[in-house]
């Protein structure tokens, strides 16, 4: 366990030092559960999103994309059940006023205890029975457990009396249901088909966030996969989605299989509208935790929105003219959790270096270009020429500080798979450069005119 905490600390420190993730609003003393994605982090996050979009939207004829609003009509969240149900059970320490989620408090004090699905009264009873103390001040003096809604509220309109209450979306999925009819009317999709969306969601999380695992705002990549329950067995679709999710995590993101597992929600934990929910979990340093949820939500959401909006959200079978509300399977993942996992899983330490063994497709920079010596104009000019010829094709880093050893060290730490060095032989002898491989440290010489193809074959 100490080793695991150690790994988390190393990742948090590397992320700050090398520009992946900075603490949120740091110059004002910080804002809990919020982070900034720095120059390397924004590239890594974008590459994860692109891999997801390419796999699940662009390379499938049965999928389309959507970008819906963060602020939706407030009835959306009443219809979906979020206003009533997106709530955590919370307690406050009367002594030091620390607020914490009751389930997390119990899980930390009694790791064997199953708390999923327990009511407020049951959580209260456990805290009282085991006299669980405040992790901050050590006192045992809690308020009763009470529900706390996670939706952020704001107002539309500038004149106070005419303002109306709206919510920042708590998940991206509801926007898909709201656009369901427009997607049917504007495209040639037919069942079964899915709609994929990536975007920010917001939840007023009061708990300790574990770095970017749980934050106030986060990016979700969600799919609603619509189907006719009379034509397709939902159990088969569900199993098929499990396979696709597993493949994406292991093949596209390069995660070790032994760090992954499926966990099915029991009856108490599962949302009332879901017939089956399973979480794909990753072995984070703080234990196996949800990465990606898969739920069979039946026709619950479309039915609710039909009822609340008065608009019929139905599909007409083109062969039989049967009109019905499709059912959905929903794979929903947080991009920030994927990013935390990718960083943790790719971290490597050797005697003389630290490196991120990122799949080249995900690495912030695919290649770095160096002149051997920064004070030799001929070398700098040739290296710039190579930089300019590669940058339309790859994200290329430039470094002419320090010596080559330090530059390798620095690129290894951000996971750059290849480093090109222009030396005197490049200009005087062979028209070739050394291309150093991050993982093997081998340094073959490659002709300058072959560089683009050489790299393209390795960066897939």
Interaction site with ligand ATP (CB under 6 A): 171, 203, 205, 214-215, 218, 220, 290-293, 332-334, 336-337
Q: How far is the CB of 292 from ligand ATP (least distance, A)?
A: 5
Peptide bond into 118 cis (omega under 30): no
User: Which residues in 415-451 are b (16+ Cβ under 10 Å) and which e?
Assistant: bbbbbbbbbeebeeeeebbbbbebeeeeeeebebeeb
Q: How far is the CB of 251 from ligand ATP (least distance, A)?
A: 19
- Report the residue number, 263 or 458, with the smaller CB distance to ligand ATP: 263
Strands of 287-298's sheet in order across: 63-65, 193-202, 217-227, 327-334, 287-298, 276-284, 260-264
- Report the residue number, 169 or 366, with the smaller CB distance to ligand ATP: 169
- Report the residue number, 274 or 395, with the smaller CB distance to ligand ATP: 274
Q: How far is the CB of 271 from ligand ATP (least distance, A)?
A: 9
- Report the residue number, 174 or 220, with the smaller CB distance to ligand ATP: 220
Quote the CA–CA distance of 161 and 381 in Å, as a whole number: 65
Q: Are 199 and 220 in contact (CB under 8 A)?
A: yes
Q: How far is the CB of 218 from ligand ATP (least distance, A)?
A: 3
- Report the residue number, 333 or 367, with the smaller CB distance to ligand ATP: 333
Q: How far is the CB of 73 from ligand ATP (least distance, A)?
A: 20
The vertex-79 CA angle with 75 and 80, nearest 5°, equals 115
Q: How far is the CB of 334 from ligand ATP (least distance, A)?
A: 3
Quote the CA–CA distance of 363 and 367 in Å, as a whole number: 9
- Report the residue number, 118 or 214, with the smaller CB distance to ligand ATP: 214
Residue that has been written with the tokens 């389309």 in this structure: 64
Q: How far is the CB of 310 from ligand ATP (least distance, A)?
A: 27
- Report the residue number, 45 or 181, with the smaller CB distance to ligand ATP: 45
Q: Which residue is nearest to ligand ATP (CB)?
A: 334
Helix count (H) and strand count (E) of the chain?
15, 23
> What are the phi and psi torsion angles at 274 (to 5°)?
-95, 135
Longest Cα–Cα distance in the chain: 80
- Report the residue number, 245 or 435, with the smaller CB distance to ligand ATP: 245
Q: How far is the CB of 170 from ligand ATP (least distance, A)?
A: 8
Quote the CA–CA distance of 51 and 314 in Å, as a whole number: 32
- Report the residue number, 203 or 366, with the smaller CB distance to ligand ATP: 203
Q: Are 356 and 415 in contact (CB under 8 A)?
A: yes
Q: How far is the CB of 205 from ligand ATP (least distance, A)?
A: 5
Quote the CA–CA distance of 408 and 406 in Å, as a whole number: 5
Task: List beta partners, residue 155.
Answer: 165
């Amino acid at each position: 366990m100490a080793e695991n905490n150690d790994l988390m600390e190393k990742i948090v420190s590397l992320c700050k030092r090398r520009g992946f993730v900075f603490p949120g609003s740091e110059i004002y003393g910080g804002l809990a559960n919020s982070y900034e994605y720095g120059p390397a982090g924004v590239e890594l996050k974008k590459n994860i999103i692109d891999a997801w979009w390419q796999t699940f939207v662009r390379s499938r004829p049965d999928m389309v994309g959507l970008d819906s609003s963060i602020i939706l009509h407030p009835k959306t969240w009443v219809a979906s059940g979020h206003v009533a149900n997106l709530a955590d059970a919370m307690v406050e320490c009367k002594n030091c006023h620390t607020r914490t989620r009751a389930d997390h408090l119990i899980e930390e004090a009694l790791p064997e205890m199953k708390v999923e699905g327990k009511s407020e009264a049951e959580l209260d009873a456990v805290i009282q029975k085991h006299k669980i103390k405040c992790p901050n001040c050590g006192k045992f003096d809690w308020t009763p457990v009470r529900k706390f809604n996670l939706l952020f509220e704001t107002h539309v309109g500038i004149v106070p009396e005419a303002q109306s209450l709206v919510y920042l979306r708590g998940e991206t999925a509801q926007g898909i249901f709201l656009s369901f009819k427009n997607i049917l009317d504007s495209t040639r999709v037919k069942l079964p088909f899915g709609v994929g969306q990536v975007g920010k969601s917001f939840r007023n999380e009061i708990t300790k966030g574990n770095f970017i695992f749980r934050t106030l705002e986060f990016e979700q990549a969600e799919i609603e996969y619509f189907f006719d329950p009379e034509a397709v067995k939902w159990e088969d679709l569900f199993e098929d989605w499990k396979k696709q999710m597993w493949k994406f995590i292991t093949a596209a993101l390069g995660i070790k299989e032994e760090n992954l597992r499926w966990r099915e929600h029991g009856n108490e934990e599962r949302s009332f509208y879901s017939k089956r929910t399973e979480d794909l979990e990753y072995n984070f340093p703080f234990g196996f935790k949800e990465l990606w949820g898969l739920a069979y939500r039946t026709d619950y959401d479309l039915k609710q929105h039909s009822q609340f909006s008065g608009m019929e959200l139905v599909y007409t079978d083109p062969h039989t003219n049967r009109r019905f509300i499709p059912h959905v399977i929903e794979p929903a993942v947080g991009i920030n959790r994927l990013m935390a996992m990718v960083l943790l899983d790719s971290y490597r330490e050797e005697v003389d270096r630290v490196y991120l063994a990122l799949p080249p497709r995900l690495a912030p920079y695919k290649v770095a270009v160096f002149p051997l010596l920064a004070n030799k104009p001929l070398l700098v000019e040739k290296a710039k020429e190579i930089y300019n010829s590669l940058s339309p094709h790859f994200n290329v880093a430039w470094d002419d500080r320090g010596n080559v050893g330090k530059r390798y060290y620095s690129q290894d730490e951000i996971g750059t798979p290849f480093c090109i060095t222009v030396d005197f032989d490049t200009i005087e002898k062979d028209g070739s450069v050394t291309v150093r491989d991050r993982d093997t440290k081998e340094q073959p010489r490659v002709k300058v005119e072959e560089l683009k193809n050489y790299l393209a074959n390795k960066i897939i």
